[in-house]
A and B are shown apart, each in its own frame.
Chain A
Amino acid sequence: MTNSEVRPSVAVLQGVVLVAGALFFLVPISTPLGLLAAVSGIAGACWVTWKHGARIRSGRGAVVGLGAVLLGWLVERLFTSVAWPWSPEASLVLADALSLGLIAGGVVFTVRVLAKKARALAAVEFALVVGAVAHAFAAHRHERIHQPRVLADFAWTNGVDPQTLLAALGVVVVVMAALLLLRVRSASRAVAALLIVVLLGLLALQLGGGRPVKKLEDDELGLSKDDGDEKADAKDGEGKGSEGGGGKGDGSNKDGKGEGKGDGNGGGSGPPQPVAVVLLQDELPDTPVLYFRQAVRSKQVGDSLVQDTSGQLDPDVPVTVPAGGTLTLPSPQSPDLHKPFDTTMFLLVDHAQLPALGHPDQLTMLENPDPRRFVAAYSVRSNLLVRPPERLFGREANGAGFDEARRAAYLALPDDPRYRELSDRIVRDVDPRFVGDDVMKAFAIKQFLEKEGFYSLAQKQLVGETPTANFLFGEMKGYCVHFAHAATFLFRSQGIPARVALGYAVQTNRRGAGSSVLIYGNDAHAWPEVYLEGVGWVTFDIYPERSDEPPRPPMEQELEVVYGELARKDATGGRGAPLKPLELPWGPIALGLVASTLVAAYAIKLGRRLARSSPAKVYRAVLDHLSDAGQARHFGESRERHAQRLSSLAPSFAPLTDAHLRLALKGPDTAAAQTVEQLARATVAELRAALPLRQRLVAALNPIGWWFTR
C-alpha cells in the first residue's frame, strides 16, 4: 500500500538528502563499488519504507534494519578473515560492497521506520545526516580551517575566506537535514523553504562577517568540483613526487659518488616532496631526531668514503631488496641497551636501498596497498638505543670485536697526517678525568666540529682531490656530508671505528600527534656512526652551531596525516607486535554466531511444530507451515481474509480458521478441538501437495518462517 502522506517527489528528495549525507561520509573511505552498493542500499531502503511504510511495524522494522547492519558487519568479517576460493582482491571488493550496501541500507531503513513511528525519532535521522557530513569536516576542529585543503584551496583561489565557505556549508547541511525532519508534503515547498533558509544564511554571513562573499552561490556545486580537484591534485602530487624521487634516487645510488647527497634541496625550487610514509607501531621514544638509515660508507678511497660493495664490511645494513619474505640482518647492536621498535614504511619514491629507522635487524616486504601511490611497502624491526650517548662513557671503542680486515677498514684513513694531528689536539683538551675515554674523545671531536664548523649549502660539492681535507683544514664551511666525513676520519684517527651513514633525519618536533611520519626529500642527511664495544653502532651526528641556512619551513602536517591514512588502508599496514593481542578470530566468531543463530532458529521452529497442547498451538503450527512457504498473514489482515486468500492453495485452511476462531472467540468445545486437529492435518497435507518440490524444500529449510507468523 502506498503511503498517501508522502508524495513521490518529496520521498525522492529525502532519499537524495540521505544519499548525499552517506556520500559525504563514505567517499574518503570506500571503493567505488562500495559507494554504489551503499547508494543502492539507501535507495532500496527509502523505496521500501515509502512504498510499504504503512505495513511496516516500527519495532519489527527496526529489528530488521539493525539485523541488516549486523549482517553487513558479519559479511565483512567473513569475507576478510576466511580464505575463499577466489582471489583476496575479489573478497575485499565483495566484502566492501556487500557490507556497505547492507549497513547503509539497514541504518537508513531503521531510522526511516523509526521516524515514521514518531516525529521525535526523526531527530535520529536528522542527527545521522548532520553527523555524516560533520564527520567529513571533523578535521576542522581546533580551528584548523585549512583542512580539507581542497575546500580551502578552492575558497582561497576564489577570494573567499574558507571559514565563510565552511559556515555556508554548515547552513546547507542543516537545511538538508531539517528537510528530512520537517517531512514536508510538497517538494516545491521544500525547495522553496530550502532556498529561503540558504538566502537567509548568506545574508547573515554578509551582515555578520562583512567578508567578501564571492561565488558563494557555487558552494554546492563547488563540493563536487572539489572532489574532482582533489583527485587531480593527488595525481599531480604523485607525478611530482616521482620526478623528485628520480633526482634523489640518483643521489643515493650505489654508484653515486656521494657528492649528490646533501641536506635536501634547501630553499631551491618548489616545496619539498614527500618520499616515504612511516607508520609507527609503538610509542615513539623521546628523541629529537629520527634517523632513517639507508646506506653506509665505510670504505676509504682516497680522501672520501664509499660504499663497500663486497658485502663483507657492513652486513648489518641491507643492501638488497628482499624479494618477498623477510630479510634478517646480523645485528651488532647490544640487546641490553637497545629496544626493538616496529615501523611500517611506505615508499613514495623509488630507493635503491631501503631506508629504515635506527639499526634494523629485520625487514619484511609487504603487499603494496596502493600501487598507484606507493612504490613499496615493508615493515622494519629496528633497534633503538635506550640510553643517550652521553651516558655511555667508559665504553671502549677500539674495534676489538671486529676481525682484522674489518677493523682495518673501519680505521682506514687518508694518507694525511693532519687528521691525527688535529684529533690529538682536540682530545688533549678534554677533562683530565676522562683522558683515554673513547666516548669522551668522540664527544670532543663532535663538539669541536659543531663549534668550529659553519653549515652552508653554498658549498656545492666536495671538490678537488682531497675534498674532506679541504673542508676540515680550510674554512670548515660545508654541509652534512662534509661534516660526516670529517668527523669519521677524525674518529678513525683516534682509533675509534667509524663510518658515514646516509639516509633521512626527521625532526620529531615537526611531527603531528598522529602515529605516522612523513619523510621529505629535504630530510636527506648524512651522519657519522661510531662503534662502541658492547653497544654497537652509535649515531654521532654533528649539529654545527653556525649556519647561513634559513630555518626549515614548517612542513605540512596534514599531508602526513593523509599519507598515513592512505598507508593504513592496507590491512597489513597495521601489523605490528603491539596490535597482535587485539586480533580476534573474526572468521570463526562470525561463523559461530551465524551457526548458533541458525541452530536456535531451527530449535524454535521444531518446538513450535511439535507443540500440541492446545488447539491454538495446533493452529499456530499450521500458520508456521504457511509462513515457511511465504504465505504468512499480512499485518492488519483478518484471519478469515488470510484463509480466503489461501483457499486455492489449501482448501481446508478456511474451515480450520473458522474452527480455530470459534474456539477462540466462542469458548471451549471438544468437538471443535478435534475438528481443528483433523483440519490442521488436512491443511498441511494439502499444502504439501500444492507446493512444488523445490518450494517444499525451501520451506523445510527456512529457519525463520515462524518469525513471520502472526
Chain B
Amino acid sequence: MTPPDSEPLVTPLSPTDVRTAPAIAAVAPAPAGPASLDDVRRLAQTLRERMRDQVMGRDDIIELVLVALFADGHVLLEDYPGSGKTTLAKSLGHSIVDDLHHDEIADFRRIQFTPDLLPSDVTGVMIFDTATNGFSFRRGPVFAYVVLVDEINRTSPKVQSALLEAMAEKQVTVDNTTHRLDDLFFVLATQNPLDSVGTYPLPMAQLDRFLFKLSMKHIDRASELEVLRTWGTPRTPRELPKVTRGHVVASRGLIRSQVAVDERVQECLVDIARLLRADKRVRQGVSTRCLVQAIPALQTLAVLRGRDYVSSADLESLAPVLFAHRLDCAPGVQVDALITETLRAPIERLSRQTIGGA
C-alpha cells in the first residue's frame, strides 16, 4: 500500500516566495462564509493566491482546477512527470481547513496507483478490533477533501472502478455498508500521455466522469527560471488565509442558484453537443451527463470572471476541456480544431441573438 502522503515528484516550493504577498491581506475571506457572489470570488481569489504561491506558471490550470472545485467536478491532468501536479494538488488540499473537525477525513491524500493495488486500498477496509471484539471500518485514502490519484491508468480496472464509483456517487460501499464521502470530495487524477506500456487506459465511459481533462504544457522560460532560483531556499511560512470546507460547499450552492444561465445559452450548449455528435469525423459524441455537468462549470467560470450570467465567452473557454476527452474521433482528427470549428456557428447564433438577430 502506498502511503497516502508519499514524497511528491516535485518538492514543494519554498514558502519564501513573496511575489504576491502584499495582495493577500486584501482578499481575506469573510469569516461568516459566502453571502454573495463577490464573497465567492474572494474565496476563489484566496485559493488562487495560495496555489500560485506554490506552483509557478500554471495560472490557466489553477483557474480550471478552481472551476472544477466549485462546480463539483473532478479533474484529469494529463502531463509529464515532474510538472508540478502533486504540488498543485497539495497546495489546494492544504488551503482548505476542516471546520467540521472530522478526525477521519484529511485535507489532502495522495494515492499512487500501481498495478498491484486493490480496491480496498482506495476505499478502506473492515478490520477486527480487539477492544470492541468486532469489525470496524477503517477509512481509505478517498476519505479526504482533495485526493490526488497519481497515474490512474497504471492500476487494474477494478481499482479504477472503485474510485470512479466514489467519484460519481460520493460514497463507498464496503461489506454491504455504504459510507458517505465528504461533500467536498474532489479528485485530481493524473496520467502520463506517453509512457503507456503496461497501463490500463480509461474507457470512454469512465473518462466521462471527469469534468475536465487538462493537458499541462511545459511552463514558460521565466517561470522555469523562477523555479530554479527559489529551489531549496527555505521559505518562511506566509500569513495566507485558509478557506474552510464549509465555505467551499456553501459557495457551490450559491453559484448554482445565483448565476443566470439564459435559455439561449443552454440552446447554444445543446447545439454544440448535437453538432459534435452529427460530425462525421466523430465516432462517439458527448453525453448528456457532460452537458449537465457543464452548466455549473460555466456558472463558476462566469463568477470567477466577475459576472453573474453565463456568456458565450465561458462556453468558448470551457468547450475544449469539457468535450475533448469525451469525443471518440476518427484517426488523424485534431480534436481541438474540430471543437473550435464546431463552436463557431452556435456561438455566432447566440451572439446575433443578443442584438435581436436570428
Contact = CB atoms under 8 A, between A and B. Distances in A.
Interface of A: 4, 54, 614, 616-617, 619-620, 623, 633, 635-641, 658, 660-662, 664-667, 710
Contacts of B308: 662, 666
Contacts of B357: 710
B311 interface: yes
21 contacts: A616-B354, A619-B355, A623-B355, A636-B344, A636-B348, A637-B347, A638-B315, A638-B351, A639-B311, A639-B312, A639-B313, A640-B312, A640-B313, A660-B355, A661-B309, A662-B308, A664-B354, A665-B262, A665-B264, A667-B260, A710-B351
B310 interface: yes
Interface in B304-358: 307-313, 315-316, 334, 337, 341, 343-345, 347-348, 351-357
A662 B259 CA distance: 11
Contacts of B355: 616-617, 619-620, 623, 660, 664
A710 B316 CA distance: 18
B68 interface: no
Give me the 8 closest cross-chain CB pairs, A-B, nearest first: A636-B344, A640-B313, A664-B354, A666-B309, A638-B312, A665-B262, A665-B309, A666-B260
Contacts of B311: 638-640, 661, 665
Main secondary structure of the interface of A (DSSP, over half): helix
Contacts of A614: 356
Contacts of A710: 348, 351-352, 357
A619 B312 CA distance: 17
Query: Most chain-B Cβ atoms within 10 A of its Cβ — which of A54, A636, A658?
Result: A636
B265 interface: yes
A640 B315 CA distance: 11
B143 to A, nearest CB: 39
Contact of B354 (A4, A641, A660): A660
A665 B260 contact: yes
A638 B309 contact: no
Contacts of B313: 638-641
A274 B337 CA distance: 67
Interface of B: 260, 262, 264-265, 307-313, 315-316, 334, 337, 341, 343-345, 347-348, 351-357
A616 B356 contact: yes
Query: Most chain-A Cβ atoms within 10 A of its Cβ — which of B311, B334, B352?
Result: B311
Main secondary structure of the interface of B (DSSP, over half): helix
Given A619-B355, A661-B354, A638 B347 contact: yes
B322 to A, nearest CB: 16
Contact of A636 (B334, B343, B354): B343
B337 A4 contact: yes
A664 B348 CA distance: 15
Contacts of A667: 260
A660 B308 CA distance: 13
A474 to B, nearest CB: 95
Contacts of A4: 334, 337
B351 A658 contact: no
B345 A636 contact: yes
Contacts of B343: 636
A639 B309 CA distance: 14
A635 B348 contact: yes
Contacts of A638: 311-313, 315-316, 347, 351
Contact of B347 (A617, A636, A661, A666): A636
Contacts of A665: 260, 262, 264-265, 309-311, 354
A658 B310 CA distance: 11
Contacts of B316: 638, 640-641
A640 B347 CA distance: 11
Nearest to A638: B312
A710 B358 CA distance: 10
Nearest to B310: A665
A638 B305 CA distance: 15
Contacts of A641: 313, 316
A664 B265 CA distance: 11
B354 A639 contact: yes
A47 to B, nearest CB: 21
B279 to A, nearest CB: 13
Query: Most chain-A Cβ atoms within 10 A of its Cβ — which of B262, B265, B313?
Result: B313
B318 to A, nearest CB: 12
A658 B313 CA distance: 11
B260 A635 contact: no
Nearest to B337: A4
Nearest to B350: A638
A54 B344 CA distance: 10
Nearest to A663: B354
A619 B351 CA distance: 12
A661 B315 CA distance: 14
Contacts of A661: 309, 311, 354
Nearest to A4: B337
A412 to B, nearest CB: 92
Nearest to A633: B351
Nearest to A618: B355
